[in-house]
Amino acid sequence: MLPAIFGLSGLTLTPEEVGLIRRADPIGFILFARNIETPQQVKLLTDALRHHTGRDNLPILIDQEGGRVARLGPPQWRAWPPALEFAHAYSQSPERGRAAAVCNYQALALDLVALGISVNCAPVLDVPEAGAHDIIGDRAFGSDPTVVAELGAALLEGFSNAGVVGVIKHIPGHGRALADSHEALPRVTASAESLSRDLAPFKALAHAPMAMTAHIVYDAWDDQQCATLSPGVIREVIREQIGFDGLLMTDDLDMKALEGPVPISGCQSLAAGCDVVLNCWGRMADMRGLAEQLPAATAACERRLSEAMAIWGPAPSTAAIAEQQADLLAQRDRLLHNA
């Protein structure tokens, strides 16, 4: 099995993509707006991916956080609130705010279950710092690490209730970055003592099934390499200090925070200790390069993958999903109204 998660070029698989899937057997796939048109089309695409890989528990990922990060949206799908809305509710009533978050994210996850999407790249556990770049902003559950951890746990509970795997991100923390790592390499100069605040939500949710790294240089831990490429940060901070032992994937290798060819960055990230590389754009040359140059998935990677995907199961009927969602959203709205 190839330790890579690939993007796809369009609404259906091309013959080249089918050939690559059958030859390389990548661990999973990630969907973007270019892959999404209607519920029927998306379900056919996810069915095709399972058919060609022969794996029912195939990781098929999406970024469906709610708010401004949502690959599924109106008119075909509901618009979902951003994470910060639940932080506001939590500040008025922690019990009701947390319960509302569970209902919301379970209902959101049911949208994914109906489409055959098994993994959602959320929650954002970054703790925004005043003056930082707004790439995180309302995607975070506020600026209190304790609240971020509590509502992140509520999100994971909601996902799990629906049978969807969550991905905590961007470990070990993107909240202090002064740049967007899609566009440049951020450098965080805070002390290790200050960074303990950023780590707190990740420590609290170290049991999460999957995590995504941050393409950020942290001077306190490694002033040469970003976390994704740093053996020290992955081993000493993510695995030991945070205690995360789930499946660790990179953020997208195509982001401008990383330099050089995608296959080289992929090899470097695996050598540093990541389990899986994420390559989102569906460019055949990059995917072929990764397939040629990456080593096979390690035994530890395959164990972590199997444990993470144990959450996924057969989808309920369309009618059952609609009924569950209606009930969950009614509960959520009652809780938010009284929060």
Rounded Cα distance between 187 and 219, Å, is: 7
Closest by Cα among 38, 29, 93 to 59: 29
Looking at residue 10, what is its pLDDT? Answer: 98
Give the CATH H-level superfamily of domain 2-338.
Glycoside hydrolase, family 3, N-terminal domain (3.20.20.300)
DSSP 222: B
Q: Would you put residue 285 in left (φ > 0), alpha (ψ -120 to 50) or beta?
A: alpha
Residue 63 main-chain phi, psi, to 5 deg:
-100, 95
Looking at residue 183, what is its pLDDT? Answer: 85
Helix and strand counts by DSSP (H, E) for the chain: 11, 12
Instruction: Give yes or no for a contact between 254 and 287, defined as CB atoms under 8 angstroms apart.
Output: no
Cis bond before residue 123 (omega within 30° of 0): yes
Q: Looking at the annotation, which residues are catalytic?
A: 182, 251
Q: Maximum distance among all alpha carbons in the chain? A: 56
Taking residue 26's Cβ as centre, other Cβ atoms within 10 Å add up to 26
> In terms of pTM, does the model score above 0.95?
yes
- Tens digits of pLDDT across the chain (339 residues): 999 999 999 999 999 999 999 999 999 999 999 999 999 999 999 999 999 999 999 999 999 999 999 999 999 999 999 999 999 999 999 999 999 999 999 999 999 999 999 999 999 999 999 888 989 999 999 999 999 999 999 999 999 999 999 999 999 999 998 888 888 899 999 999 999 999 999 999 999 999 999 999 999 999 999 999 999 999 999 999 999 999 999 999 998 889 999 999 999 999 999 999 999 999 999 999 999 999 999 999 999 999 999 999 878 999 999 999 999 999 999 999 976
